[in-house]
Amino acid sequence: MGSKYDVLVIGGGNAALCAAISARRGGASVLVLEGAPKFYRGGNTRHTRNMRCAHDAATEILTGPYTEEEFWEDLLRVTGGQTDEVLARHMIRESKDILNWIVEQGVRWQPSLGGTLSLGRTNSFFLGGGRAMLNALYLTAERLGVDVEYDAEVTDLVIEDGMFLAARLKRPIKGETEIRATSLVAAAGGFEANIEWLKQYWGEAADNFLIRGTPYNRGSILKMLLAKGVQEVGDPTQCHAVAIDARAPKFDGGIITRHDSVVFGIVVNKHSQRFYDEGEDIWPKRYAIWGRLVAAQPDQIAYIIFDSTVVTSFMPTLFPPIAGQTVAELAGKLELDPAALEKTITEFNAAVRPGTFDHTILDDCRTEGITPQKTHWARKIETPPYLAYPVRPGITFTYLGTRVSKEARMLMADGKPSANMFAAGEIMAGNVLGKGYAAGMGMTIGSVFGRIAGREAAKHARN
């Protein structure tokens, strides 16, 4: 390779491509190093579907408005205040313009959304999903003259006094090489696919986690940056985790292994005990808490149990539910104690109070006299066949990251900004997301900070 680039981008997902395109449009020569082979390019972005952006009025693709203030309040609620307000508000403000900018890069939005999800006001959906979105970004980047190399895993970074000098990479075919560049954009994702690293915080439980996205996000770049003096942000045990089918593959099962049936039944652990209010809240929030709840249960497994009256109320699932004509038969198939499961269901049924069921609002169907309560959508489970989905924690992405400024510039441990290192996407998501998650924010963080990082990196390189 030999030549020196203005901007080196590590990673190949949304954040990396937004940075590469924006740096190239800023006049810089740009190289993108993607650790994965071409098919798997784009990390977790391949699996995404939508993006959350503030907007003042309805558009062709969104019912509106979704104001900056409302976005901010949503973020505040899910994170419980664990967010950098300056950065977060800056991101939200910029998100308004991203809606159009991303279209200028060739990405197309889906006009309206059918199906069972209802996010048409806050989130825009990519036509054809995340991989289609990535394909468009790659086409645009290549057309603009961005160089892209696949199977190019960066194995070392040469950094002196907070200044990036070169990256070393290992390529299966072309061998090892060193690449120098004037500025660096690190957009290499989190460390969710690195089970060993997860174990440092979660212990042996992490062996039972399933990784919903790419196996290539092993956090190697994050680790190098932190080791070389970049300031750390976020709690390493915080991540976005949902309950997914226990039969899903260990890695890369993507969106189709999720379950959204929790509200329609009860959730028990391997001792057939309920452990949380299944009727606590409606969709986006509920979606994001159950992964952690299941992670806290023995053996990290739980079972969503419902009956045949509700099967058409939620999205069709990849794996069919496990069925039994009696509760005992179902328990047998799930390897649960039949007596214990029967007792739990009988007690639950007895606690259900009459009400008017409406799963689109927080309705008045609830239980009385049991712990935990089911505060909404509680209905008796009594119509065979009885059905169940086994679920495990499905890790989406991690929040431990590099601290950045509003310019997406990395901050060093002593609080000084790095001369030429920028970060975008999952690798710095923890600046905004201290904990919790609201659907579509992963892409907002990647696009907004990717675009800024690319622009700033190009500016630095051309000075």
Ligand X SMILES: Cc1cc2nc3c(=O)[nH]c(=O)nc-3n(C[C@H](O)[C@H](O)[C@H](O)COP(=O)(O)OP(=O)(O)OC[C@H]3O[C@@H](n4cnc5c(N)ncnc54)[C@H](O)[C@@H]3O)c2cc1C
Which residues are at the interface with ligand X (CB under 6 A)?
10-16, 33-36, 42-45, 47-51, 153-154, 187-189, 212-214, 216-217, 220-221, 254-255, 396-397, 425-426, 440-443, 446
462 lines the binding site for other proteins (CB under 8 A): no
Q: Does 115 bind other proteins (CB under 8 A)?
A: yes
Question: Which residue carries 């190093």 as its tokens?
Answer: 33
The binder of other proteins chosen from 249, 298, 339, 416 (CB under 8 A): 249
- The residue from 64, 67, 70, 128 that contacts other proteins (CB under 8 A) is 128
* Residue 264 binding other proteins, by CB under 8 A: no
Residue 364, judged by CB atoms within 10 A of its CB (0-12, 13-18, 19+), counts as: middle
In whole angstroms, what separates CA 310 from the centre of its chain? Answer: 28
The distance of Cα 224 from the centroid of its chain, to the nearest Å, equals 22
Rounded Cα–Cα distance for residues 439 and 282 (Å)? 13
CB 357, min distance to ligand X, A: 28
Q: Contact between 361 and other proteins (CB under 8 A)?
A: no
- How far CA 450 is from CA of 74, 228, 268, 286, 398, in Å, comes to 22, 22, 41, 29, 18
14 contact partners, CB below 8 Å, separation of at least 6: 42, 45, 48, 130, 133, 134, 137, 425, 443, 446, 447, 450
Minimum CB–partner distance for residue 356 and other proteins (Å): 26
Least distance in angstroms from the C-beta of 179 to ligand X: 11
Query: Is position 172 an interface residue for other proteins (rule: CB under 8 A)?
Result: no
Task: Answer yes or no whether residue 82 interacts with other proteins by CB under 8 A.
Answer: no
Interface with other proteins (CB under 8 A), residue from 111, 175, 203, 354: 111
Nearer to other proteins, 124 or 220 (CB): 124
Q: Please give the residues from 8 up to 67 whose contact with other proteins meets the rule CB under 8 A.
A: 39, 46-47, 49
Helix (H) or strand (E) segment spanning residue 285: helix 283-295
Among 127, 322, 328, 362, binds other proteins (CB under 8 A): 127
Could you tell me which stretch among 119-127, 218-226, 369-377, 444-452 binds other proteins (CB under 8 A)? 119-127
Rounded to the nearest 10°, the torsion over CA 453, 254, 113, 359 is -120
User: Which residues have CB under 8 Å from 199's CB, separation 6+?
Assistant: 206, 207
The entry of ligand X, other proteins, none near residue 249 (CB within 5 to 8 angstroms by kind) is other proteins
Beta-strand pair 302-307/266-269: antiparallel
